[in-house]
Structure formats: C-alpha cells, structure tokens
Amino acid sequence: MRVPALETERLRIRPLESSDLDAVHPLLDVDLPAGEATTEPAATRDERRRCLEWTVLSYEQELVKERQGI
C-alpha cells in the first residue's frame, strides 16, 4: 500500500527517500543522545545509508505487490 504524504500548513510527512541520508544520519545518529530513540547504538553513516536503502526498497516492493494484487 502506497502511503500518501501527510501535509499541514507547517509540516510534511512523507516516505523516506535515498536522498534523505544527509538529513537522516545527523538527526538519528549524531544529534539525538544515545538511547533516546532506540536501544541500538548510533549507526555510522554507512550503516544508516544501508538502512535507508532497505527502507526505500521495501516501499518499492510493497508497491509492486499492490500492483499485482498480492
């Protein structure tokens, strides 16, 4: 199921994109104190890139399933 972007006057929430790495890595792995958002240690930039790629691929896989009626 494709999730539409949620938009208000001041906020836009949308699915992640590969190009979001420069924003996501500092937010989740640098600026946030360890243990505040997760029990996992902070990811390196390369680990976060792989996680982001996996997330984007899962969106694409779900879209294919949706189109095939699965």
Round to whole Å and give the CA distance between 69 and 10: 35
Where in the chain are the domains? 16-68
Dihedral sign computed on CA atoms, order 31, 33, 38, 43: positive
**Which pLDDT tens digit goes with each residue over 33-63?**
666 666 677 789 999 999 999 999 998 887 7
pTM of the model: 0.69
**Which pLDDT tens digit goes with each residue over 16-26?**
999 999 999 99
Q: Residue 12 pairs with which residues in a beta bridge?
A: 7
